[in-house]
Structure 1
Amino acid sequence: MSRCRWASFFLLLLALGTLPGTADVGPVEGRLFPALGGNYREERELPVVAELKTRSSNSISVEVRVSAPPAASSAVARVELTPGTRRRIPLLSPVPPYGRVDAEFESEGITDSLSTELKVVGPDDLAILVLAPEEAFSYLSGYQKLLESPASNAPEIRLSRPPSAEVLPERWPSYSSQDIVVVKDLPFLGLGEGAQRALVDWARAGGVLVLVSSQSAELTGTPFAEVAPLPGGGIRVRAGGVPMLHGNLRGGSRVLVEHDGLPLLVGRAEGAGRVLQITAPISRPELLGPAVTEKVWGEVVAQWRGNGWRHAAYNEVVLLQNPPEIPVPNPAVLAWFLVGYAVLVGPVNYGLLRRKDRMLLSFVTVPAIALLFAVGAFSGNLMSRSGDIVVRDVGIAHVTSGDSFAVVESTSVFFSPRARIYELSFGRDTFGRASRASYVDPGPAYKAMLQGDGSVIWSEFPMAMWSMVRFRTSRLLPLQGPLSFRVSPDGRKLEVDNRTGLRLTRCRIFSPAGVTGEFSLGPGSSSLELEPAEHHGAPAHQMVVNEGSEDEDQLVRCLGSLWGPDTLPKRPVLAGWTADFPAPVDIAGIKPQHHSMHLVTVEAP
């Protein structure tokens, strides 16, 4: 009996040693954590970090897989680990429907697994990322009353702190889940230049970047100095020993809050977003007093709420429902097709076989006729559809007069005429997310791989024959140059310098003076005499010229949401259509047909 017991015990140990996910025997010690803290938003990029260390005395190869059930996609990275070293691997996780992200580390045939839980941020909540010494600005979570609004349902302020500045992403889309980012004590943080530039681009794409600096040289030589409203100056110590930065404001900057005769909060527009600067170290409310501190952050929240582009209704529209690559079946053709099939199988087939007294042949003729009609239907469908790989995208773009970039929100469809596995690539300034049919729909199964240059590859992307996948993209698109324009006070004359390389058609000027008639703009400088619009009604809806375009009508509704569908903007806005934007996605080894149409809005400075 003792020998049997020892044999059973040995076999049990052997079996336990081969179970996957047992961290005690795996060659890799790993952990997974979110790069920006434990909060995330749906339909936004989710950067995570896998920290790995080998237990082996030899170099090993490890495959990291991050998933978020029930989503079918996953993030994948393959790395080499050397003994005694610890590596941090950045990945872009699928957005978890239920807040759980799973990770697997596979090496030498053994798989270790673990999970981490995240908290979702609601659509009405204010997400603030704090990049500052520990415990600074913790009081912000108590300013719930700043968010009170009849249109909001008990919103919350959700603070996030990254575990380390070293793991901050260097892609601006990775910050798209945040509404406000607060940066203080930049030299202490050790924030890399790549992360700083990503935050600047994030602000240009619609975010609110708050720089808290009371030292004259704190921002000098950094990417933040290129956009700060007050990049440098002297220091004045006010009552209570509080140092305040003062100096010359950058062009286009405004003083939003003053304290003791000096600017305390200054701000300026940067692209589609805002850059704000607090000139005193208000990491604790006691430094300037609760009343002054609350006034400052109340104005910060007001600047966030006043950003029309950030709160445009683009995410609520559904575009490209009926692209021409997938034509809607004609009911009349289907009806005649079924009538012909019924007549041929019924009276014709039955009559001929009965006349020849060969009724048993119906077991052969009926399947043959069905096969003939199936082949005919397949051939007709094949001839009616496109045989080319097509990428079609429509959307809305924002350009600030004088800037050399556009903030572009697009809906795209990728049509494949044949069954194939593709590899899709998105640039470092592009955030792509595949649309899902429902909340629990797993979506397409692919592997997302973050590249060293910041681009993202969707590998092993499956497509069925005559299938179409819809996805949305957010881009910060560089232009050949700026577009600047000036409208006369009476709204009748336009001077424009278009160096963007874009050709704009069906343009109109929206200004407090009214809405102009249509005109076109090509590259170069021009001076135009403008006529008032020929018809009245909701100002934004005068952009609709093609009555048959449902997508254009939806985009115009987004335009109206920027300043109100029945009102006019406070500053002149030039709006027109362009087909010159490049495709938001590249397909490895294939140059697809590309069709594009975007509504471009250019806001006067």
Structure 2
Amino acid sequence: MRRTLWLVLTVILLILPTSAALAQTTPPTMSVAVGLDGYCGDEEGWCPVYVVLSNEGSDVEGTLSITSEGTDATYSVPVVLPTHSRKGYYLYLPYSFLSSKMYVNLESDGLLLASTKFTVHTLATEDRLYGIIGDRPSAFNFLSGIYLGGETAVANLDAATLPPDPLGWERLDLLVVNDTDTTRLDAERLAALTTWVEHGGHLVVGGGAGAIQTAVGVADLLPVTVNGIRQVENLSALLLTGVSHVAVGPYPVAESTLREDGNVLIEQDGLILIARRAYGDGYVDFLAFDAALNPFTAWDDTATMWTWLLNVPDHDHIALRNRYSAMEAAEAIPGIEPPSTLQIALFTFIYILIIGPVNYLVLRWRKRLERAWLTIPAIIIAFTSCAYLVGFQIRGVRPVLNQMAAVYLPAGGRTGRVSAVMGIFSPRRTTYDVQVGSDGVYGLGRDLFGGDSAAFETIASVDDGIVIRRLRLNVSEVEAFVGERYVEMETPATANLTVTRGTTGTLSLTGVLHNGGRSLQDAVFLVGDARQALGDLEPDGEAAVRVSYTPFAAQARSIGDRIMGPGS
């Protein structure tokens, strides 16, 4: 008996270290979901990448990074993975960073723990992306055949894993939510959905037998209030959409009452079948019947009805598009402008005059021509020192950050989209770490002219923004970045302006601008080819606007010069 007990204890002691060693050596695993069901834009916007890490080994504290073929730069986020944990991380990549080969790496203390490769399906600017959330996404495959300009892709999306930041939604043109539990949308994703609609998105919510569970999570966005479900024998009113024939039912439909700002598009015997609500720059449609339903006898009538439904005005996302103008604006840093051509010519003329005729005449007058070997080097040293001091005064000793931000707020909206252009000037050759309060950042400048685009080592997401790590700058160099994010506007800015036409064809704009809940420094009012400096505006402050401009006039000056004003 004692011998058996010792044998059992020995086996346990042998197993425990082995199990501990296995726990220590089991690497984390990762899965990657790119874009919206794999789709991203190819010319503008952001591509969300969702990485899920599973760790069955020891605790891991490291960095999750994404690299692109052809550049040494990375986008990264810090990672903390306790043992037996599973976490998801979102990274937002600018379109300029995307390539045919992308790599995701998990590193800790300089060791590579996990790595994988992924590809991106890019959509052209004129292409459309329609997302589907529901139990029967294949029922909407016909949407890919609807032509409204460019190709159409249909993405199967999951409410629980949608990007929590609206930047990740911008490539999406349409979202259909049908026969699904919308309470799976957490607060972050519901806010992102609301912002996306507000800035031009088109949301279609289906009804039918699952109308109540579908509507409950997005009730505040709908043009109607859903009250219950009932059966109808036909949906003949859908003939108004241009279809040829509607099959006989019965059909389960949602009973609803119209909101104050809702509009009825199709009604049948007092029952709202299709209603629409304009929400900011976007639209929210509610279908009382199941959106996956095909109640038509002709095979192409479903596409006909949806073509009618999707025929709404397009709203482009208001974002920075002209990269050259952005670069010019970033480089328009007051106080570090180089001397003008006239000043350089005058300096050169005085230098030649003194080192030549003046030096000769003075030495001849003093009868010391043999001293020219002393006076000429002295004059050269004096003028060189003067030029160096002037350059030193212009350049300074500290880096300069020049930042300009444009905020677009849809009419009646509460969330603004910020596009900030940042120019970082360095008086000497060195590296910097720069922290900015944005959700997405990408570099400008070097890649505009086919040069080295990796001026930085890493763009890392942190708790309160983004850090550009190891930004390499040469003497008197300006590196430009664009930072974008959505912000809540406590009190939006408003204006009461009047336009009058002059006798020469110019327009005069007069009135009062009421600032919102944020302080503005060196605010500028731009309209047409005119500019008015407003100075600093306190929250809820006011500024008088009085400016004349020529409509449709060509902009002779760059955006940077227009913002900074004459003499910049």
- Confirm or deny a common fold (TM above 0.5): yes
Q: Sort the Cα spacing of 1:141 and 1:348 in 2 relative to 1 into closer, same or farther, 3 A.
A: same
Match for residue 115 of structure 1?
Answer: 117
TM superposition shift of 1:110: 3.7
Match for residue 314 of structure 2?
Answer: 307
Matched, 1:242 2:267: no
Q: Sort the Cα spacing of 1:288 and 1:380 in 2 relative to 1 into closer, same or farther, 3 A.
A: farther
- Other structure's SS at 1:251 match: coil
1:500 paired residue among 516, 526, 544: 516
Give the conservation status (yes or no) of the 8 Å contact 1:66–1:74: yes
TM superposition shift of 1:290: 4.8
Match for residue 344 of structure 2?
Answer: 334
Matched, 1:139 2:142: yes
Match for residue 212 of structure 1?
Answer: 206
Match for residue 447 of structure 1?
Answer: 458
Give the conservation status (yes or no) of the 8 Å contact 1:130–1:160: yes
- Other structure's SS at 1:334 match: helix
Q: Sort the Cα spacing of 1:410 and 1:425 in 2 relative to 1 into closer, same or farther, 3 A.
A: closer
Structure 1 CA distance, aligned partners of 2:275 and 2:496?
A: 26
Matched, 1:400 2:411: yes
Structure 2 CA distance, aligned partners of 1:75 and 1:390?
A: 22
Structure 2 CA distance, aligned partners of 1:87 and 1:313?
A: 33
Structure 2 CA distance, aligned partners of 1:210 and 1:249?
A: 16
- Other structure's SS at 1:318 match: helix
Matched, 1:92 2:92: yes
Q: Sort the Cα spacing of 1:498 and 1:323 in 2 relative to 1 into closer, same or farther, 3 A.
A: closer
Match for residue 559 of structure 2?
Answer: 551
Structure 1 CA distance, aligned partners of 2:186 and 2:255?
A: 26
Matched, 1:70 2:70: yes
Match for residue 269 of structure 1?
Answer: 278
Q: Sort the Cα spacing of 1:392 and 1:92 in 2 relative to 1 into closer, same or farther, 3 A.
A: closer
Structure 2 CA distance, aligned partners of 1:108 and 1:391?
A: 35
1:337-356 alignment, distance < 5 Å: 337-342=347-352
1:287-298 alignment, distance < 5 Å: 290=299, 292-298=301-307
Quick one: which amino acid aligns to residue 212 of structure 2?
A: A
Give the conservation status (yes or no) of the 8 Å contact 1:408–1:476: yes
Structure 2 CA distance, aligned partners of 1:79 and 1:180?
A: 33
Structure 1 CA distance, aligned partners of 2:495 and 2:261?
A: 16
Matched, 1:176 2:154: no
TM superposition shift of 1:29: 3.1
Structure 2 CA distance, aligned partners of 1:356 and 1:101?
A: 71
Matched, 1:159 2:159: no
1:421 paired residue among 420, 425, 432: 432
Pick the structure with greater CA Rg.
2
Give the conservation status (yes or no) of the 8 Å contact 1:272–1:398: no
**How many pairs does the alignment contain?**
491
Quick one: which amino acid aligns to residue 44 of structure 1?
A: G
Deviations along 1:443-483, one digit per CA (max 9) or x if unpaired, are 43143333467x44444444555443333344434333357
Quick one: which amino acid aligns to residue 261 of structure 2?
A: G
Q: Sort the Cα spacing of 1:553 and 1:341 in 2 relative to 1 into closer, same or farther, 3 A.
A: closer
TM superposition shift of 1:131: 2.4
Structure 2 CA distance, aligned partners of 1:524 and 1:277?
A: 38
Match for residue 558 of structure 1?
Answer: none
TM-score of the superposition, structure 2-length normalised? 0.70
1:471 paired residue among 475, 481, 486: 481
TM superposition shift of 1:176: 1.7
Match for residue 392 of structure 2?
Answer: 382
Give the conservation status (yes or no) of the 8 Å contact 1:130–1:181: yes
Q: Sort the Cα spacing of 1:106 and 1:499 in 2 relative to 1 into closer, same or farther, 3 A.
A: closer
Q: Sort the Cα spacing of 1:506 and 1:142 in 2 relative to 1 into closer, same or farther, 3 A.
A: closer
Give the conservation status (yes or no) of the 8 Å contact 1:436–1:443: no
TM superposition shift of 1:496: 9.9
Quick one: which amino acid aligns to residue 233 of structure 1?
A: N
CA RMSD of aligned residues (A): 4.8
* 5+ residue gaps, structure 2: 1-24, 235-248, 502-509, 528-533
Structure 2 CA distance, aligned partners of 1:65 and 1:296?
A: 45
Structure 2 CA distance, aligned partners of 1:473 and 1:60?
A: 30
Structure 1 CA distance, aligned partners of 2:115 and 2:303?
A: 45
Structure 2 CA distance, aligned partners of 1:218 and 1:338?
A: 80
Match for residue 573 of structure 1?
Answer: none
Quick one: which amino acid aligns to residue 155 of structure 2?
A: S
Quick one: which amino acid aligns to residue 293 of structure 1?
A: T
Structure 1 CA distance, aligned partners of 2:360 and 2:165?
A: 70
Percent of residue pairs bearing the same amino acid type: 20
* Deviates further, 105-114 or 241-250: 105-114
Give the conservation status (yes or no) of the 8 Å contact 1:414–1:470: yes
Q: Sort the Cα spacing of 1:276 and 1:194 in 2 relative to 1 into closer, same or farther, 3 A.
A: same
Structure 2 CA distance, aligned partners of 1:290 and 1:210?
A: 22
2:444 paired residue among 435, 442, 450: 435
Deviations along 1:495-516, one digit per CA (max 9) or x if unpaired, are 99968347999799xxxxxxxx
More helix by share: 2
Structure 1 CA distance, aligned partners of 2:352 and 2:497?
A: 68
Give the conservation status (yes or no) of the 8 Å contact 2:130–2:174: yes
Match for residue 255 of structure 1?
Answer: 264
Give the conservation status (yes or no) of the 8 Å contact 1:73–1:447: yes
Match for residue 564 of structure 1?
Answer: none
Match for residue 283 of structure 1?
Answer: 292
